Chain A
């Protein structure tokens, strides 16, 4: 009995000894990475921790989107912020003016080998919003087309190389869907009830038409926004994709063979790769660039970056800063593994490496680096921005037949312009 008590007391005592007694710096890390993304990031963190005796990452995954960004802001206000976090580059225009991102100096970055020339110019520019580096880009993630190779082959929509033949031009695309429509109820499994998903595909289509979302403070000049909306309306109206479908259902429709095509971000690549590996996906699937419906190639893209939250109350200590920079440098150098989450690494050295170029299925959509389009740099666009809301609120009902394209786009104009 006494022995048991003793061991409990000793255990408690050991537990209470601060970690710093062993000269280990703990890095508090927040991210918003779920699904296959999250699994891979956790592995990366594990291998960092096991290869570093002096630094240990203590990671927490929080709800993606507005909840994450609000929590970062409120926690920084009272000095309870994490030491480092993931952040979308598209959100830097919203974040930098609020002062929630700590600028990282050239010297600090150089101390762990992070230099401008190792990143894609567009990425680096976005990370330098406001005239200083506010984060280190980790990846580029874009929209892609997933397809059921067996179904497309059966419909005669694959060429001899195994490439889909319906990717070129809207008429060709529609004709391909008409063929698939005889085989499945909905050829495309798409989250037509999710404003964010609609925005990503819609913005790709708009840019294929060479249209712009914001020009000189005006939202949706001309009629291209209406035309892009009409494309999605037609797809639902013709019965080529289901109406009012949530994210999980759209994914499930594709995975269960109820639809032949799935439009989603590259972040779902690991989900389908893992399903296939475990023999839970009953068909061979492929991934390609988005179907090019109009003149130009374009696919919506954004980037995850690492950033340091800033707090007036409790700025990061020199010791922690050093540790965080080490983590950022290590993550960038080891982002090849992150590519297995479907993403394109932001580090050019990795992308140009032999390993990356032999990686499946990433190499099938490697062209994204050349045709990616990012949201206009503005405080009303970007992840979990008013634009995302406006798409949920107005374009989603239009896609599902409750508003005309003209009505919906006008509502978006009024709503987003009122916030600019």
Chain B
């Protein structure tokens, strides 16, 4: 106990104070308010009457909510694993490059989209796939395919938004993976070289197990990010065609901001909050256990 004197206790509290203060002010306080809101029939602005579980019962019977939940998970399917795998592959390739200049340039290229705001990303892609003037349509013409309305056709809309999301965010995953790869001691590879291990064996028995903690982290972060999908859908498809890309947060936006139903929107937001907490904790535990077994 006497390891910590009074002075260091005070200074440590002082040091964490700013974080705790802002955490309460901007995270916990609004979250608690949203929870209380979700039991009322409030409009977007101001208070309503207490209605108990009514919003949650309504939610249970709302077909559009279930559809948006399904769409959100379809989006997760299209993005989480692919984004992680592509990130790992790119990182492995960049890591093998001996020239600092080349690897640095490549890394910058991959990371560049990540620093763009979402509106710029969607605008760029909107023009690239524009049915009349898009460069991708010209390529389709050249290869003899029919032009495709990428954001207005049911089969294409969701995968296309996923593709753009991967293009936009994969740079961050590459960065995390490269940091992980750099941490693996070169001695291990040298030793295995002497023992005559081939490149695949090196990956399977050295790289993969040692990079697994990073992979688990990336997968979990990805799951949380992608469950919160809103911007790209709102800007590119608007939830259409016929609600085939409407996601949970978009339903929150629609109910809250367009239809002025703050209470109901809060209830949907709380359910999504619960889903994200449960699934990310569950996923992280699952992945961590696997790591420990190995």
Known A-B contacts A74-B45, A193-B152, A244-B149; A389 and B258 likewise in contact (beta carbons under 8 Å):
yes
Q: Quick check: B132 and A397 within 8 Å, CB to CB?
A: no
Q: Mark B238-261, 1 if CB is under 8 A from A, else 0.
A: 111111000000000010011110
Stretch of A130-138, A245-253, A266-274 contacting B (4+ beta carbons < 8 Å): A245-253
B131–A249 CB distance below 8 A: yes
Tell whether A249 pairs with B130 under 8 Å between CB atoms, given A66-B258, A98-B260, A393-B242. yes
Judged by a CB distance under 8 angstroms, whether A394 is at the interface is yes
List chain A residues, Cβ under 8 A from B279: none
Q: A66-B257, A393-B239, A402-B242 are in contact. List 5 more A-B contacts (CB 8 A).
A: A73-B44, A98-B45, A386-B258, A389-B254, A397-B152
| A252 engages B240 (CB within 8 Å) | no
Using a CB-CB cutoff of 8 Å, which residues 340-399 of chain A contact chain B? Answer: 384-386, 389, 392-394, 396-397
Given the complex, which residues of A lie within 8 Å of B131, measured CB to CB?
193, 242-246, 249
Q: Which residue of B lies closest to A66 (CB)?
A: B258
By Cβ-Cβ distance, the 4 closest A-B pairs, closest first, are A244-B149, A397-B241, A77-B45, A249-B132
B258 touches A403 (CB 8 A): no
Question: Residue A264 at the B interface, CB < 8 A?
Answer: no
Q: Which residues does chain B contribute within 8 Å of A246, judged by CB atoms?
A: 126, 130-132
- Per-residue CB contact flags for chain B residues 34-73 toward chain A (1 = under 8 Å, else 0) read 0000000001111000000000000000000000000000
11 A-B residue pairs with CB within 8 Å = A74-B45, A77-B46, A242-B131, A245-B131, A393-B241, A393-B242, A394-B242, A397-B242, A400-B149, A402-B153, A402-B154
B133 pairs with A249, CB closer than 8 A: yes
* A389–B257 touching, CB < 8 Å: no
Chain B residues lying within 8 Å of A193, measured Cβ to Cβ, are 131, 149, 152
Chain A contact residues (Cβ within 8 angstroms of B): what range? 20 to 34
A419, CB-defined interface residue at 8 Å: yes
Nearest residue in A to B126 (C-beta to C-beta)?
A246
Give per-residue flags for B53-95: 1 if the beta carbon is below 8 A from chain A beta carbons, else 0.
0000000000000000000000000000000000000000000
Q: Does A5 contact B (CB under 8 A)?
A: no
Determine which of A73, A244, A386, A408 lies in contact with B152 in the assembled complex, contact meaning CB atoms within 8 Å. A244
Secondary structure at the B interface, as helix, strand, loop or mixed, is loop
B contacts with A, residue count (CB < 8 A): 24
Cβ-based interface call for A21 (8 A): no
Chain B residues positioned under 8 Å from A73 (CB to CB):
44-45
A411 on the B face (CB < 8 A)? yes
A70-B242 CB under 8 A given contacts A98-B43, A193-B149, A246-B130? no
What is the CA–CA distance of A70 and B43 in the complex, to the nearest angstrom?
A: 13
How far is the CB of A364 from the nearest CB of chain B, in Å? 28
Residue of B nearest to A394 (CB): B242
Give 1 or 0 for each of A263-291: 1 = CB within 8 Å of chain B CB.
Answer: 00000000000000000000000000000
Cα A396 to Cα B43 with chains together (Å): 30
With CB as the reference atom, state the residue of chain A lying closest to B153. A402
Bound: A243/B148 CA distance, A: 10
Could you say which residues of chain B place their CB within 8 Å of the CB of A386?
258-259
Report the separation of the CA atoms of residues A411 and B242 in the bound assembly, to the nearest whole angstrom: 8
B88-111 CB mask vs A (1 if < 8 Å, else 0) is 000000000000000000000000
The interface bits of chain A over 52-75 (1 if a CB of B lies within 8 angstroms of the residue's CB, else 0) are 000000000000001000100110
CB-CB contacts below 8 Å: B102-149 with A: 126, 130-133, 149
- Set of chain A residues within 8 Å of B43, measured between Cβ atoms: 98
Q: Which of B45, B132, B240, B258 contacts A396 (CB 8 A)?
A: B240
| Shortest CB distance B223–A (Å) | 28
- How far apart are A405's CB and chain B's nearest CB, in angstroms? 14
In the assembled complex, the Cα of A411 lies from the Cα of B244 at a distance in Å of 13
Q: Are A253 and B45 in contact (CB under 8 A)?
A: no
Residues of A within 8 A of B238 (CB): 195, 389, 392-393
Complex: A400 Cα to B242 Cα, angstroms: 12
B235 to chain A, nearest CB (A): 11
Which residues of A have CB within 8 Å of B132? 242, 245-246, 249-250, 252-253
Q: Which of A249, A385, A389, A396 contacts B241 (CB 8 A)?
A: A396
* Complex CA–CA separation, A98 to B130 (angstroms): 38
Closest approach, in angstroms, between the C-beta of B19 and any C-beta of chain A? 26
For A407, give the chain B residue with the smallest CB separation.
Answer: B242
Chain A residues whose C-beta falls within 8 Å of the C-beta of B152 in the assembled complex:
193, 244, 396-397, 400, 402
| Distance between Cα atoms of A246 and B236 in the complex (Å) | 11
> Bound complex: CA of A246 vs CA of B129, how far in Å?
11
Complex CA–CA separation, A250 to B133 (angstroms): 10
Closest approach, in angstroms, between the C-beta of B257 and any C-beta of chain A?
5
A252 engages B149 (CB within 8 Å): no
Are B257's CB and A70's CB within 8 A?
Answer: yes
Most chain B CB within a 10 A radius of its CB, from A193, A242, A384, A386 = A193
Q: CA of A141 to CA of B238 in the docked complex: distance in angstroms?
A: 26
Query: A73-B45, A193-B149, A242-B131 given as contacts; is B242 within 8 A of A403 (CB)?
Result: yes
Question: Contacts A193-B131, A243-B149, A244-B149: A393 and B44 contacting too (C-beta < 8 A)?
Answer: no
The proximity string for B residues 254-282 relative to A, scoring 1 for CB distances below 8 Å and 0 otherwise, is: 10011110000000000000000000000
Interface centre among A74, A253, A393 (most CB of B within 10 A): A393
**A366-B94 Cα distance, complex, nearest whole Å:** 66
- Hey, which chain A residues are within 8 Å of B240, CB to CB? 195, 392-394, 396-397
Which residues on the B side are within 8 Å of A244 (C-beta)? 131, 149, 152-153
Contacts of A98 in B (CB 8 A): 43, 45, 260
Complexed CA–CA distance, A127 and B44 (Å):
24
